[in-house]
């Protein structure tokens, strides 16, 4: 920190959580705050971010910083890092969690909408790892949790980019972990199955997801705690819930032809 301009923030550990306004991101905010992390909360809905920030500040006394940002927009990651630098906030834990599903098929969707999905869930994730990971590597300290999905292993739905994007997140995160582990930076691909959040509503698919039996669903709090424990242990991939791990293994061993047929019939997760 420069002498002339002291940061209003203290130098204890900061975590950046994207998609902090709801669901799994919100659960990570609560969990990390309970462990003493100061939190940068990022999403588009500022009102919900402010509520979450106020709540964790009140409950745990940690510092918070709210960032309104649409990760689907070009240049989002650079703007975030500029904002962090201006406020002299050094991120030691990055939770790339923001995301959404889109049931519309690739060819029937406008390119603008496809591009936003790629920007929000693939480009921003990758660029934030790059920009914030440099400092972690130098300091030889850091955790990166990239929230992927069980969908990285499940059958592809015709024209849906989601599974492909999440497969990329898993493979990229494992490669990043192989590069950064020697610098004491742990990178984890967290692959939740069905989790009770705003996800189905946000993708306008509540009726479809309602078909899944209750016992298939996990709470966002359970997903976050499993992710926290896994990154702490230095795992590069973790699928929360035994049943989800069994499903991922099964999808890895069944023949491609059967897997593709299941996808063609619209089997989600
Ligand atoms: N729920 C599940 O069953 C499930 C299963 C596997 C994986 N996941 C993954 O878990 C992650 C979190 O989802 P969730 O289940 O917690 O859903 P959620 O409750 O809908 O939360 C999604 C979060 O992402 C933020 N977000 C969405 N688009 C954004 C954008 N363009 N820019 C910035 N923030 C954006 C939303 O905030 P704003 O709307 O305020 O921007 C919200 O905070 C996602 O990556 C999802 O793919 C979910």
Q: Tell me, what's the pLDDT at 157? A: 92
Q: Is the CB of 147 under 6 A from ligand 1?
A: yes
pLDDT at site 267: 72
- Ligand 1: which residue has its CA nearest to atom 36? 19
Q: Band of the pLDDT at 11, cuts 50, 70, 90?
A: low
| Whether residue 155 has its Cβ less than 6 Å from ligand 1 | no
The answer, yes or no, to whether residue 4 has pLDDT greater than 90, is no
pLDDT digits (tens, 9 = 90+) for 209-232: 999 999 999 999 999 999 999 999
32-70 as b/e, with b when 16 or more CB fall inside 10 Å?
Answer: bbeeebbbbbbbeeeebbeebbeebeeebebbbbbbebe
pTM: 0.95
Ligand 1 atom at minimum distance from 147 CA: 45
DSSP class of 97: -
Give the mean model confidence (pLDDT) for residues 143-157.
97
- CA 117 distance to own-chain centroid: 14
Number of other residues whose CB lies within 10 A of the CB of residue 108: 7
Residue 202 lies in a domain: yes
Local confidence band at 268 (pLDDT 50, 70, 90 cut-offs): low
Residue 218 has what DSSP assignment? B
Ligand 1 atom having least distance to the Cα of 48: 40
Ligand 1 site, residue 22, Cβ cutoff 6 A: yes
Residue 74 lies in a domain: yes
Exposure b/e, 155-190, CB count within 10 A at least 16 = b: bbbeebbbbebbbbbbebbeebbeebeeeebbbbbb
pLDDT tens-digit profile of 62-90?
A: 999 999 999 999 999 999 999 999 999 99
Q: Is 126 in the pocket of ligand 1 (CB under 6 A)?
A: no
Does the residue 142 lie in any domain? yes
Distance 255 CA to ligand 1 centre (A): 31
Q: How many residues does the chain have?
A: 269
- Answer whether residue 156 is part of any domain: yes
At residue 7, the pLDDT reads: 45
In a domain, 32, yes or no: yes
Is the pLDDT score of 240 beyond 50?
yes
Q: Tell me, using a 6 A CB cutoff, whether residue 268 lines ligand 1.
A: no
The pLDDT tens digits for 129-147 are 999 999 999 999 999 999 9
Which carries the bigger pLDDT value, residue 267 or residue 243?
A: 243
What is the position in ligand 1's atom list of the atom closest to the CA of 196? 1
Does the beta carbon of 117 sit less than 6 angstroms from any atom of ligand 1? no
How many angstroms does the Cα of residue 222 sit away from the middle of ligand 1? 16
**Inside any domain, residue 4:** no
Pairing of strands 185-190, 142-147: parallel
pLDDT at res. 3 = 39
Pocket flag, ligand 1, residue 76 (CB < 6 Å): no
| pLDDT attached to residue 31 | 98
pLDDT digits (tens, 9 = 90+) for 242-266: 999 999 999 999 999 999 999 998 7
Domain hosting 86: range is: 14-264
Instruction: Flag whether pLDDT at 9 surpasses 70.
Output: no
The ligand 1 atom at the shortest distance from the C-alpha of residue 202 is: 20
Decide: 31 and 58 in contact? Cβ < 8 Å: no
pLDDT at 34 over 90: yes
Ligand 1 center from residue 93 Cα (angstroms): 18
Provide the mean pLDDT of the chain.
94
Q: How much of the chain exceeds pLDDT 70, in percent?
A: 95
| Residue 3: inside a domain | no
Q: Is the pLDDT of residue 148 over 60?
A: yes
Residue 8 domain-assigned (yes or no): no
Nearest protein Cα to ligand 1, atom 2: 195
Q: What is the CATH number of the domain that holds 246?
A: 3.40.50.720
Q: Which atom of ligand 1 is found nearest the CA of 124?
A: 32
| Ligand 1 contact, 241 CB (< 6 A) | no
| Tally of structural domains, the chain | 1
Residue 239 pLDDT > 70: yes
Residue nearest to atom 16 of ligand 1 (CA): 23
Greater pLDDT, 5 or 254: 254
């Amino acid at each position: 920190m420069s002498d002339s301009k002291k940061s209003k923030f203290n130098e204890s550990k900061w975590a950046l959580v994207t998609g902090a306004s709801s669901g799994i991101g919100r659960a990570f905010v609560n969990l990390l705050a309970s462990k003493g992390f100061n939190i940068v909360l990022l999403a588009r809905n500022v009102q919900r971010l402010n509520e979450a920030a106020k709540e964790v500040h009140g409950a745990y006394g940690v510092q918070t910083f709210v960032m309104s940002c649409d990760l689907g927009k070009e240049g989002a990651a650079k703007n975030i890092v500029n904002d962090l630098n201006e406020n002299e906030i050094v991120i030691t834990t990055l939770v790339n969690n923001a995301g959404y599903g889109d049931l519309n098929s690739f060819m029937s969707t406008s390119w603008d909408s496809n591009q936003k999905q790629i920007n929000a869930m693939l480009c921003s994730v990758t660029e934030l790892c790059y920009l914030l990971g440099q400092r972690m590597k130098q300091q030889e300290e850091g955790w990166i949790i990239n929230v992927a999905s069980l969908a990285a292993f499940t059958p592809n739905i015709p024209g849906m980019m989601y599974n492909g994007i999440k497969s990329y997140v898993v493979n990229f995160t494992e490669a990043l972990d192989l590069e950064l582990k020697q610098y004491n930076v742990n990178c984890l691909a967290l692959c939740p199955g069905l989790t009770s959040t705003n996800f189905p509503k946000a993708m306008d698919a509540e009726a479809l997801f309602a078909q899944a039996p209750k016992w298939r669903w996990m709470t966002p709090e359970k997903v976050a705690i499993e992710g926290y424990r896994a990154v702490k242990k230095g795992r590069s991939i973790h699928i929360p819930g035994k049943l989800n791990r069994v499903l991922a293994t099964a999808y890895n061993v069944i023949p491609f032809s059967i897997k593709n047929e299941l996808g063609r019939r619209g089997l989600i997760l």
